[in-house]
Chains A and B, each alone.
Chain A
Amino acid sequence: KAGVTQTPRYLIKTRGQQVTLSCSPISGHRSVSWYQQTPGQGLQFLFEYFSETQRNKGNFPGRFSGRQFSNSRSEMNVSTLELGDSALYLCASSLVPDTQYFGPGTRLTVL
């Protein structure tokens, strides 16, 4: 079975721009979660989707949004990028309830 894939792997943007990151879960997994990892804050939960519905949301501003499609693929969007949004963005999928499988991440740099 193919693992969780994330695209793109690396991204450089400038302040004020917006960005869309994509995550394809393991086939059959309907739950997709997104996390942000920074050196200062560590890993933080962004949102969780299950069957196209956002089930949970972490404590992030409204500039961070996401969605899930009928094939369970998920996207997250960050609008009006700030320097502090530079981070590794990780996506994880799971068969509920089961171990989460993490993707390789997208490293976003905001200049």
Chain B
Amino acid sequence: KNEVEQSPQNLTAQEGEFITINCSYSVGISALHWLQQHPGGGIVSLFMLSSGKKKHGRLIATINIQEKHSSLHITASHPRDSAVYICACARRFDYGGSQGNLIFGKGTKLSVKP
């Protein structure tokens, strides 16, 4: 079993729909990242969360540390949101830093149709 599981693997939505992508993890973490990767390879960090909820524009990310679960929501989806969304967990280390050692989910490929 992977340490970081994402669902769904693939998602097709109509423009304007509300979208949810889920991430569950089984390791001790200090933070969880949501990343966006467009065709061509470029990766953008969307959020880094250690607790609660963050919002940026139409994107909302939540994390429940007790349940080891995070969700990424996209409100009023648009074709430009089409990309692969990747959940990545920063493994906790004794030295207090953990930014580098990310373990990744397999990604969710989102396609938003006009």
Contacts and interface: CB of A to CB of B under 8 A. Distances in A.
Interface of A: 31-33, 35, 37, 42-45, 47-50, 55-56, 58, 88, 90, 92, 94, 96-102, 104-105, 107
Contact of A48 (B31, B41, B101): B101
Contacts of B95: 55
Contacts of B35: 102
Given A33-B100, A45-B101, A56-B101, A100 B41 contact: no
A107 B41 contact: yes
A88 B95 CA distance: 29
A43 B86 contact: yes
B99 interface: yes
B42 interface: yes
A65 B48 CA distance: 28
A100 B97 contact: no
Contacts of A42: 104-107
A102 B43 contact: yes
Nearest to B88: A43
B97 A96 contact: yes
Interface of B: 30-31, 33, 35, 41-45, 47-48, 86, 88, 93, 95, 97-107
29 contacts: A31-B99, A31-B100, A33-B102, A42-B107, A43-B86, A43-B88, A43-B102, A44-B104, A48-B101, A50-B100, A56-B93, A56-B100, A56-B101, A58-B101, A88-B41, A90-B41, A94-B100, A96-B97, A97-B30, A97-B31, A99-B33, A99-B47, A100-B48, A100-B99, A102-B35, A102-B43, A102-B44, A104-B41, A105-B41
Contacts of B100: 31-33, 45, 47-50, 55-56, 92, 94, 100
Nearest to B101: A56
Contact of B97 (A32, A50, A107): A50
